[in-house]
Chain A
């Protein structure tokens, strides 16, 4: 099987995201692989281990370099990586999907890959739009938020969460699947895997943007979450406050 995995980098939630003059200050931010993309990549690598002759290639589109993240993907078991850096800032999911689409169709030239894995959403802008947009551009089916996957003879049985339950879906390759937490437990990379990953190649290219963005961000402001917590002496006082001050029950 030919498997493509789309990975992006996001700020590590553990680092403090600063705010200067109306925009995000990334200077103290550590960039990591989007957590959902780890589930996507893990699933791809597991399929490769199951189906002999499979090849896993990761794709990443970024304004600046995403080399670190791609190195990590190679260490986790991807065979190769394609890094597309853009001459301008990619500002919406439509543009990101467009460039990914072109990178994937160029790379596989004759036929589409059997599977394209993405993460369910990026944890920075949380749009959860790129996977389905990419599928529509590639003209293939997609399932978002996959929590279980079974592949046999080019057919897929997938499970995903919907409000209040689960949906069981059958489909055929090629398809785009976006990974939800619970799909698997991503492996830790050993030092040996990291060393071996250095021998694998990353294919770097640059691209200009095709279109203007469909959506632009016009303002950004930090949300102050700190509250003054009132420590209450006992349960009765808590119930009284919730009832009298807030009409809760």
Chain B
């Protein structure tokens, strides 16, 4: 019998979409493996009704609803997860790829003496449980195999989303967290501040990115307009960030975010290796650049050779027209 445990992350009382999708993928994996059961763990107070119709299959959901777990707490979250994992004699623990899981998983790997496989874009369904992920800034694809009996997986958001199938039964069990006190010196999150507006680039399915060719912070308004039309997010090259035109949170590439949108627009971006490192998993790439020989055209599916300041207004107008007709 395989026992899979899924960590579901909440921020401000809302369970992350990527966690819900990880749960559903693990249910699929369990079905393919056979003889497997899935449990979940939720930390922090939240309204569990929001989960109705989002989680597939049967399972037990452990919920530690203590108010002290509202904000992320490295120490308590780590011990709660480790305790459940050991008590239930689980064989594998799954996370969605987020800042919180990248904090927790390596600690748990040491504490549980479990093999940690991060950034998995694919997990084998056989007992070996290997995974595939890209390395060297997206220029190679590597296969990794866990050697320990216990395993921890961080599933990359690039894995195709698993479908929700209804009909399962989820049993909720509360976890006792009385042993937690706030006396010690371990990190406490004072507050979190969320950015307003468009979704995070790392999660966006359409990205409109700009580089030095945009020439100013003001001209990014066009990219914001285009992103809004398409329901996407704005991204930036390092140059655009270093110039102070965009926040670092939007930087894409080796020292920025790795993104996997279905559609990527590179506007006034040359296509340096360090930038391309972040878009290896992008679907359709569209380049708009005045230099026909810019390297970005080597990795693009479609290109428009021209000045972004002339092309973008026309593109926005044509798109508005097109969307209106639909």
Contacts and interface: CB of A to CB of B under 8 A. Distances in A.
B143 interface: yes
B185 A223 contact: no
Contacts of B192: 162, 165-168
B135 A126 contact: yes
A193 interface: no
A249 to B, nearest CB: 7
Contact of B147 (A171, A216, A239): A216
A229 B134 contact: no
A217 interface: yes
B107 A136 contact: yes
8 contacts: A124-B136, A133-B109, A170-B187, A223-B134, A223-B138, A230-B301, A231-B304, A236-B318
Contact of B187 (A133, A143, A164, A223): A143
Contact-residue size bin, chain B (C-beta under 8 Å from the other chain): 35 or more
B202 interface: yes
A215 B116 contact: yes
Nearest to B231: A249
B143 A170 contact: no
B55 interface: no
A156 to B, nearest CB: 9
A165 B299 CA distance: 31
A182 B200 contact: no
B280 to A, nearest CB: 7
Given A124-B136, A129-B109, A144-B103, A181 B186 contact: no
Contacts of A236: 318
Nearest to B18: A163
B251 A181 contact: yes
Interface stretch (B86-94, B212-220, B284-292): B284-292
Nearest to A228: B301
A136 B318 contact: no
Contacts of A239: 315, 318-319, 322
B99 to A, nearest CB: 4
Given A136-B110, A168-B189, 7 more contacts: A94-B110, A144-B102, A165-B193, A167-B192, A220-B140, A239-B318, A243-B322
A144 to B, nearest CB: 5
10 tightest Cβ-Cβ pairs between the two chains A and B: A132-B106, A165-B194, A172-B185, A171-B187, A136-B110, A219-B143, A214-B115, A129-B106, A235-B315, A136-B107
Contacts of B31: none
Contact of B75 (A141, A223, A230, A248): A141
Contact of A169 (B190, B199, B273, B297): B190
A226 interface: yes
Contact of A229 (B116, B199, B302): B302
B140 A24 contact: yes
B148 interface: yes
Contact of A214 (B105, B114, B189): B114
Interface stretch (A11-19, A49-57, A80-88, A202-210): A11-19
A227 B100 contact: no
A52 B297 CA distance: 52
B72 A167 contact: yes
A141 B186 contact: yes
Interface string A91-122: 00110010000000000000000000000000
Contact of B302 (A129, A170, A230): A230
